[in-house]
A and B are shown apart, each in its own frame.
Chain A
Amino acid sequence: MLTRPHPRDTAQETFAFDDDVRGAPGVDVDAGGAGRRRPLRAIAISYLVTVFVLVTLNFLLPRALPGDPILSLIDPAAPTRVPIEELRQELEAFYGLDRPLLVQYVDYLGDLARGDLGVSIRYNRPVAELIGERLPWTLLLIVAAMGFATIVGWVAGVHSAWRRGRPVDMGLLTVFLTLRSFPTFFLGSIALFVLGVQLDLFPLAGARSTSELMGPLARAVDIAHHLALPALIMALPFVGGHYHLMRASIVTELGADYLVAGRAKGLGERRLKYGYAARNALLPVVTLTALHLSAAVTTEAIVVETVFGYPGLGRLLVDAVPFRDYPTLQASFLILAFVVVTANLLADLLYAALDPRTRR
């Protein structure tokens, strides 16, 4: 009877230097390596605490950091004040710096609950509106990129595990290690230049063509066409993670009894590989890690949107910086973080529900 270490345990070794996946369901770095199952209650509390911290941090940062950044926009005497009188007054009302801190906080929470994220200094429009326009594109980008990363990672992982120790395996490992070292903005620029400019295969910016006259199918293809390069480039840093996990899971399956029996019976390699080994390796752990979003997703989304001129939330954040558009900066930060944290909550809940050890 072979005792095989639980895939989660091997997984946590693999990621010894990659703490981005540390938060993934089941991958828990406590001493002993047994991994810890997290009860639903713990997951929920953890989520609420995180959201609370985010919200409070978002509130405190502009008020606590040196330099009085908000004041420099509002104070009529300051050289950097916002030029439009109405806008300045709206900002003043929104931040309420003359009120006691606790009152400001309560007001702030109330505003958030109502969806009031302030007015953008740059665009002179409610920030919530801007975010509403941009968020769907970022979500689309993330889903496409993560989907791609998962699929490619899995296929490569299966392939690599099957040829464990052989050149293909080493090669793939090196490739993925190398890929993680390439700055995304660099790869993106090269891709844009070669595939976009030189070969004219992909558009150079935007999420869709501006032409108004397009049927729904043409529109869908147009959007996919604009999405292709950004999603591909964004996927690259994450492929390695899924590759490793799948590979590790399969490797531990390879010693399994039923495979030995299968070979003895004379079942073909491919059938064994994809039919049995992979299916078992695709345990909830691996599947649900796919659903889990690393916080690094926001980093990559921002970079990719900037390089490819993709009109998402990441770009809204970056473009707001030279204008010192603090309401937009804050809201973009908050929403981006909130999306990732909430997505992970769902993944964690799903995992807790499907953990084979709870089922036992």
Chain B
Amino acid sequence: MIHRREFLVMSLKLTAGAALLGSCDRRNEPESGARQGQVTRPTLRLAGEDVGFPSPFAYRRGPGYIKASYIYDTLMWKDASGEVLPWLAAGYEQSNDGRSYTFELRNGVSWHDGEPVTAEDVAFTFDYFRAQTMSPEVIVQPFAEIEEVVAAGERTVEFRLSAPLADFFGYRGVGSVPIVPKHVWADIDNAAAEQDAAVLVGSGPYRLESYSPGEGAYVYSANDDFFLGTPFVERLEFAPIAEPIAGLQAGDIDAASVAAVRPEVLAPFRDNPDLEVLDQPGGNIGSGLFWNLAKGGALADVRFRQACAHAIDREDMVERMLGGNGMPGNPGWIPSTNPFYVEVEQYAFDREAAETLLDDAGYERTGNEEVRRDPDGEPLSFSLLVAEPVTPMVDLVVRALGEIGVELSPRALDVPTFNQRVIAGESEMSIISFGGMNTDHAAGYLHQVYFSETQTTQHAQGYKNPEVDRLVVAQQHELDESARMELVARAQRLIADDLPILPLVYPDGFTVFDKRNFDAWYYTEGGVASTVPLIENKHAFVTGEMTGLEIRSTD
């Protein structure tokens, strides 16, 4: 029989014990063997999500690309400074007209299975990409302008372009296209469907040890024969964590990236001496209100769209939802922090102007009705497709438009269904998220979003402006900086006037990390592979430094 006193004492001991043990495990102590001044090869734990099988043909979106980049290399690659460094390539030469490049590969680089990396592999890679059809979620697919890639020697590769490419060293060019082994992929017909781990033979600093789909758990271990040397970080573990900053606080992960959080949420982390908070370059995350112009009616009428823009107080949204951690969306798409940015019509919050616009355009309220009707008598009532999870922003947009007599019915879908619905052109209005607007790729992004023939989730639905088409294609080939800027500026003014998309807010992003296990975290200037604005750049893990190709010593 338990006596009361004994019971109480026992429970007190247990609680105290748990608390003590708990506080012991609070932070991830540096791994075994770390004596004063010594550095050991760390294991990094990060929050994971399922972004697909990490082959260059099957991943999903930016984070998925990063997962593949640990295994596969590119000819050139960026470090923290944003400078493109020779990676698989040792050096290059380019012609004056920018239509041909010759790359010399490094000596002694081999695939994970021991075979040497040759120019043949590079040539094969570009041909292979051309021959495959992949989902738009595989974000890196080489420029069509790369006409021919030829192996001119054991380690010499020649690129011939149909037109000069301003971004040749960046996104969709040699700074981002992953090189794959010919001897593995030559016999595979459907690259995207190939999801057997045995196919993941790369030249990169890490090998995939395990991947569980659904959960999104990935484990990578270092390739000690990597051409730059034994990678500094020994293991990368991505595990599903419901709330990354809670996980960081508990010591479960080493770095947590968050976006759209208020300053108060980060305050305790900024005050903690063991942690550091990195600010992501602004304007790299966004959400926008999309109209499907192809559906016709009011949706295809620019005055309707402009009225909607005037009705939504985007500055208030930044205050209300983000506590100021962000900026209002720019109708010209490119954020004000980017070199390509030029001032365009901002559609300042002005409900009266909105009402007037609608009145003048023939959208009237009849009788006592709240909702306006178009000249054909159809009510201005639309479905608003949004992806889970539904944020308060949706509510704010619905209210704002309700005020001017436009009725929106939000419909929430899970992410894959949402993407599919949107790409298939089945939405009337939708709120879609995007990222990477402030990378090197900013100008090229305009092409992705506003060119009339692209097909991505973020594409301006049903939008076709031949002048915009001409401008966004021309800027791709303009090697002269200022000429290019002028082209991009003109494009921005047009898209701001046409307003097929209203970017709503550009929330700020942050990464909080624990300094004690690894401290070389950085946001790559211009984005990883010139397009992904995330923190996980393999360069940092390989070298343990922020810049350069020297690997930090571990003894």
Say whether B414 contacts A210, CB under 8 Å.
Answer: no
**Contact pick for B3, options A80, A83, A84, A274, CB 8 Å:** A274
Residue of A with least CB distance to B50: A123
Chain B residues within an 8 Å CB radius of A181: none
Measured between alpha carbons, how far is A191 from B421 in the docked complex, in Å?
41
Measured between alpha carbons, how far is A204 from B252 in the docked complex, in Å?
10
Chain A residues within an 8 Å CB radius of B246: 204-205
Say yes or no for B7: interface residue by CB 8 A criterion: yes
**Contact pick for B2, options A81, A155, A202, CB 8 Å:** A155
The interface bits of chain A over 216-228 (1 if a CB of B lies within 8 angstroms of the residue's CB, else 0) are 0000011011001
Chain A residues within an 8 Å CB radius of B388: 322-323
Say whether A279 contacts B247, CB under 8 Å.
Answer: no
Say whether B22 contacts A202, CB under 8 Å.
Answer: yes
How close is A220's CB to chain B, nearest CB, in angstroms? Answer: 11
Chain B residues within an 8 Å CB radius of A83: 416-417, 419-420
Measured between alpha carbons, how far is A32 from B239 in the docked complex, in Å?
59
Chain A residues within an 8 Å CB radius of B239: 210
Chain A residues within an 8 Å CB radius of B249: 197, 200, 204
How close is A307's CB to chain B, nearest CB, in angstroms? Answer: 12
Given A205-B246, A206-B252, A274-B1, are A124 and B19 also a contact pair (CB < 8 Å)?
no
Say whether A278 contacts B414, CB under 8 Å.
Answer: no
Say whether A225 contacts B25, CB under 8 Å.
Answer: yes
The interface bits of chain A over 102-137 (1 if a CB of B lies within 8 angstroms of the residue's CB, else 0) are 000000000000000000101111000010000000
Say whether B243 contacts A204, CB under 8 Å.
Answer: yes
Residue of B with least CB distance to A222: B25
Q: Using a Cβ–Cβ cut-off of 8 Å, how many residues does chain B contribute to the interface with A?
A: 42
Q: Which residues 1-51 of B sit at the A interface, judged by CB distance below 8 A?
A: 1-4, 7, 18-19, 21-23, 25-26, 28, 31, 43, 45
The interface bits of chain B over 379-390 (1 if a CB of A lies within 8 angstroms of the residue's CB, else 0) are 000000000110
How close is B145's CB to chain A, nearest CB, in angstroms? Answer: 32
Say yes or no for A358: interface residue by CB 8 A criterion: no
Say yes or no for B213: interface residue by CB 8 A criterion: yes
Say yes or no for A201: interface residue by CB 8 A criterion: yes
Given A204-B243, A210-B237, A322-B414, are A79 and B4 also a contact pair (CB < 8 Å)?
no
**Contact pick for B22, options A80, A201, A211, A279, CB 8 Å:** A201
How close is A4's CB to chain B, nearest CB, in angstroms? Answer: 22
Say whether B214 contacts A125, CB under 8 Å.
Answer: yes
Given A79-B421, A206-B252, A211-B28, are A123 and B2 also a contact pair (CB < 8 Å)?
no
Say yes or no for A14: interface residue by CB 8 A criterion: no
Measured between alpha carbons, how far is A203 from B4 in the docked complex, in Å?
30
Say yes or no for B426: interface residue by CB 8 A criterion: yes
**Contact pick for B4, options A120, A159, A224, CB 8 Å:** A159
Say yes or no for B412: interface residue by CB 8 A criterion: yes
Say yes or no for A257: interface residue by CB 8 A criterion: no
Given A122-B414, A322-B388, are A279 and B1 also a contact pair (CB < 8 Å)?
yes
Measured between alpha carbons, how far is A200 from B249 in the docked complex, in Å?
9
Say whether A275 contacts B22, CB under 8 Å.
Answer: no
The interface bits of chain A over 178-219 (1 if a CB of B lies within 8 angstroms of the residue's CB, else 0) are 000000000000000000010011111110011111000000
Given A212-B237, A224-B18, are A203 and B250 also a contact pair (CB < 8 Å)?
yes
Measured between alpha carbons, how far is A197 from B246 in the docked complex, in Å?
9
Chain B residues within an 8 Å CB radius of A209: 25, 250-252
Chain A residues within an 8 Å CB radius of B22: 201-203, 225
Say yes or no for B529: interface residue by CB 8 A criterion: no
**Contact pick for A278, options B1, B26, B412, CB 8 Å:** B1
Say whether B23 contacts A201, CB under 8 Å.
Answer: yes
Chain B residues within an 8 Å CB radius of A210: 45, 237, 239, 241, 247, 252-253
The interface bits of chain A over 265-284 (1 if a CB of B lies within 8 angstroms of the residue's CB, else 0) are 00000100011001100000
Residue of B with least CB distance to A278: B1
Residue of B with least CB distance to A276: B1
Say yes or no for A39: interface residue by CB 8 A criterion: no
Residue of A with least CB distance to B214: A123
Chain A residues within an 8 Å CB radius of B419: 83
The interface bits of chain B over 79-116 (1 if a CB of A lies within 8 angstroms of the residue's CB, else 0) are 00000000000000000000000000000000000000
Residue of B with least CB distance to A121: B414
Say yes or no for B198: interface residue by CB 8 A criterion: no
Given A228-B18, A274-B1, are A82 and B252 also a contact pair (CB < 8 Å)?
no
Given A79-B426, A322-B388, are A155 and B4 also a contact pair (CB < 8 Å)?
yes
Residue of A with least CB distance to B412: A322
Say yes or no for A262: interface residue by CB 8 A criterion: no
How close is A292's CB to chain B, nearest CB, in angstroms? Answer: 21
Say yes or no for A171: interface residue by CB 8 A criterion: no
Given A80-B417, A205-B242, A205-B247, are A123 and B213 also a contact pair (CB < 8 Å)?
yes
Chain A residues within an 8 Å CB radius of B215: 123
Say yes or no for A309: interface residue by CB 8 A criterion: yes
Measured between alpha carbons, how far is A200 from B24 in the docked complex, in Å?
11
Q: Which residues 375-427 of B sit at the A interface, judged by CB distance below 8 A?
A: 388-389, 412-414, 416-417, 419-421, 426
**Contact pick for B243, options A205, A225, A274, CB 8 Å:** A205
Given A204-B250, A210-B241, A210-B252, are A323 and B18 also a contact pair (CB < 8 Å)?
no
Measured between alpha carbons, how far is A274 from B25 in the docked complex, in Å?
39
Measured between alpha carbons, how far is A309 from B389 in the docked complex, in Å?
17
Chain A residues within an 8 Å CB radius of B26: 200
Measured between alpha carbons, how far is A221 from B1 in the docked complex, in Å?
26
Residue of A with least CB distance to B268: A197
Chain B residues within an 8 Å CB radius of A213: 31, 43
Chain A residues within an 8 Å CB radius of B3: 270, 274
Residue of B with least CB distance to A309: B242
How close is A145's CB to chain B, nearest CB, in angstroms? Answer: 15
Measured between alpha carbons, how far is A278 from B3 in the docked complex, in Å?
11
Q: Which residues 206-227 of B sit at the A interface, judged by CB distance below 8 A?
A: 213-215
Say whether A82 contacts B243, CB under 8 Å.
Answer: no
How close is B103's CB to chain A, nearest CB, in angstroms? Answer: 39
Measured between alpha carbons, how far is A124 from B416 in the docked complex, in Å?
12
The interface bits of chain A over 32-47 (1 if a CB of B lies within 8 angstroms of the residue's CB, else 0) are 0000000000000000
**Contact pick for A221, options B21, B417, B420, CB 8 Å:** B21
Say whether A84 contacts B416, CB under 8 Å.
Answer: yes
Chain B residues within an 8 Å CB radius of A120: 214
Chain B residues within an 8 Å CB radius of A206: 241-242, 247, 250, 252
Residue of B with least CB distance to A209: B252
Chain A residues within an 8 Å CB radius of B1: 274-275, 278-279
Residue of A with least CB distance to B419: A83
Measured between alpha carbons, how far is A210 from B413 in the docked complex, in Å?
30
Measured between alpha carbons, how far is A173 from B536 in the docked complex, in Å?
56
Residue of A with least CB distance to B17: A221
Measured between alpha carbons, how far is A81 from B19 in the docked complex, in Å?
49
Where the two chains meet, the residues of B that have a C-beta atom closer than 8 Å to any C-beta of A are: 1-4, 7, 18-19, 21-23, 25-26, 28, 31, 43, 45, 213-215, 237, 239, 241-243, 246-247, 249-253, 388-389, 412-414, 416-417, 419-421, 426
Can you report 22 residue pairs joining A to B where beta carbons are below 8 Å apart? A79-B421, A79-B426, A83-B419, A83-B420, A120-B214, A122-B414, A124-B213, A200-B249, A203-B22, A204-B243, A205-B242, A209-B25, A210-B237, A210-B253, A225-B22, A228-B18, A278-B1, A279-B1, A309-B243, A322-B388, A322-B389, A322-B412
Of all A-B residue pairs in the complex, the 8 with the closest CB atoms, nearest first, are A123-B214, A204-B246, A83-B420, A210-B239, A203-B250, A274-B1, A323-B414, A309-B242
